Structure 1
Amino acid sequence: MTDPRFPATGRTVLVVEDDASIRTLLTTALGAAGYSVASAADGREAVALAGSRRPDLIVLDVMLPDTDGFRLTRALRAQGVYTPVLFLTARTGVEDRITGLSSGGDDYVTKPFHVQEVLLRVRAILRRAGAPASTAPVRPPLRYGGVTLDESTHEAERAGRPLRLSPTEFRLLACLLARPERVLEKAEILQRVWRYDFSGDTRIVDTYVKNLRRKLDRDGAPPLVHTVRGVGYCLRLPREATGPLTP
């Protein structure tokens, strides 16, 4: 039963966890917090539920009996499923965190965890993802250098070619498009896109910029996202000039 202190959110969360006790803990806590919850014990069941239930968020254990969460997330992204993903894992290394986030995840909680931390991360991810389409404010599209990004429809394109972006890549591009030709420090990008820092580690920004460039600069398109060595990144049209800006 939903806790009356937490009204129904209208959001669905899919919990993918093979440990039955953890799966029950999370589904109970999320349900009490007002979410509609579905659950799966392995990757195959998760893929089926992701297609049928269309969740707003997936809480995904990294170690599953038939696959791992990183591989599963990459497979979902390749199929055009860009549902935000919150990883759960006993791996604590920074490299594991970067691997998870660069595979298309949006956040990362290590085990053992406090259930309130998971609830806070779920709320933060859904807040970043925006309000449901029926209540989302209509904003004019962002445009620069042949790139158009429409936050109301969550669509982006370059020179008429659709860009298939994950939710985090979409927010990163929106952040850069909102401030074209301005140098953004990595810490500022981290705050604007992720809303908090990952223990001060800005390498996740580098990883996502690399992924975004690969999608933006296809088919010989000139590079738009440039590196300012030792500082951060700048979105600008290519120009013949000397200085610290590099693709």
Structure 2
Amino acid sequence: MTTRARILYVEDDINLSFVTRDNLEAAHFTVHHCATGIEGWTAFQADEFDLCLLDVMLPQTDGFTLARQIRAVNVDVPILFLSARAERADRLTGLRLGADDYLTKPFSIDELLLKIEVFLKRSRTSTSPVTSQVRVAPPLPAIGTYLFDQANLTLNRAGQNDILTQREADVLAFLLARPNAVVRRDDLLRAIWGDDDYFMGRSLDVFISRLRKRLSADSTVRIDSVHGVGFRLVIPAIL
């Protein structure tokens, strides 16, 4: 007998959550519903789930924060946002946090069920018996004498953790994926901010300045500005 997939469903709208949960259970899923972000995080820590459905506008802890907490401890579990916030910026934020999809309200139950089936199938394939032996976490990428943990938003040097913001970690990861190479300014802006207008460019400059300060303890590492083009993360070796 196939085990019923367990879904963590975090939604504060009582009527919507009742209807959605009823349809999910009719489709033979086991649903654990929570009405606040804090309840959702507590439930996720206490139990194992095959998939998470998260609203964005939640009391106590919003859905973006909850997704960030979940991704910090589990990079595999599928996350789907169900939100009334339909702005492009919100959708991009959710996807950058590691969500697998972002559906806007009102959504089709049939579409939701289809997406759940797709993501559960993908998740189960990635953890099939061939690859589900004890997982060894890959080594953290080195940036000179720093170790960069993007999932946990930290730079570690000599045992000391420097906590990054999500945007700082995103910018640094984009540069690190292209070490010692020129990264075009507009490519970075579109990848992280979703656009390359003037005001976002000013914001990028602020984050580059912050990252330079965070990396300043190692003289072999620097972020160069390439005039009129973009930036280059210079590191002594690619480990």
Closer, same or farther: CA 133–230 of 1 in aligned 2, 3 Å: farther
Q: Distance in 2 between matches of 1:30 and 1:232?
A: 51
Q: Distance in 2 between matches of 1:215 and 1:37?
A: 42
> What TM-score does the superposition give when structure 1 sets the normalisation length?
0.53
1:47 aligns with 2:47: no
Q: Distance in 2 between matches of 1:179 and 1:229?
A: 18
Sequence identity (%): 28
**8 Å contact 1:80–1:164 — kept in the other structure?**
no
SS at match of 1:96: helix
Letter in 2 for 1:73: L
Deviation track 1:151-196 (CA, whole Å, cap 9, x = no partner) reads 9x989643233355799987875564353112345897799xxxxx
Identify the residue that residue 178 of structure 2 maps to in structure 1.
Answer: 179
Unaligned runs of 5+ in 1: 192-196, 239-247
Closer, same or farther: CA 188–99 of 1 in aligned 2, 3 Å: closer
Q: Distance in 2 between matches of 1:55 and 1:165?
A: 28
Shift of 1:145: 2.2
**8 Å contact 1:55–1:83 — kept in the other structure?**
no
Identify the residue that residue 103 of structure 2 maps to in structure 1.
Answer: 109
Q: Which protein shows a greater Rg? A: 2
SS at match of 2:57: coil
Q: Distance in 2 between matches of 1:60 and 1:23?
A: 13
**8 Å contact 1:101–1:108 — kept in the other structure?**
yes
Q: Distance in 1 between matches of 2:205 and 2:28?
A: 32
**8 Å contact 1:59–1:86 — kept in the other structure?**
yes
SS at match of 2:147: strand
**8 Å contact 1:73–1:105 — kept in the other structure?**
no
Shift of 1:94: 1.6
1:201 aligns with 2:194: yes
Identify the residue that residue 87 of structure 1 maps to in structure 2.
Answer: 81
Q: Distance in 1 between matches of 2:9 and 2:145?
A: 39
Shift of 1:110: 1.8
Closer, same or farther: CA 156–70 of 1 in aligned 2, 3 Å: closer
Closer, same or farther: CA 214–28 of 1 in aligned 2, 3 Å: farther
Identify the residue that residue 146 of structure 2 maps to in structure 1.
Answer: 147
Unaligned runs of 5+ in 2: none
Q: Distance in 1 between matches of 2:27 and 2:56?
A: 20
Shift of 1:143: 1.9
Closer, same or farther: CA 2–17 of 1 in aligned 2, 3 Å: farther
SS at match of 2:85: coil
SS at match of 1:15: strand
Q: Distance in 1 between matches of 2:230 and 2:180?
A: 12
Closer, same or farther: CA 118–144 of 1 in aligned 2, 3 Å: same
Shift of 1:72: 4.8
**8 Å contact 2:41–2:66 — kept in the other structure?**
no
**8 Å contact 2:92–2:194 — kept in the other structure?**
no
5 Å-filtered alignment, 1:33-44, equals: 38-44=32-38
Identify the residue that residue 16 of structure 1 maps to in structure 2.
Answer: 10
Shift of 1:135: 4.4
Shift of 1:61: 0.9
**8 Å contact 2:54–2:63 — kept in the other structure?**
no
**8 Å contact 1:62–1:68 — kept in the other structure?**
no
Worse overlay, 42-51 or 55-64: 55-64
Number of residue pairs the alignment of both structures matches: 213
Residue from 83, 96, 113 that aligns with 2:90: 96
Letter in 2 for 1:41: A
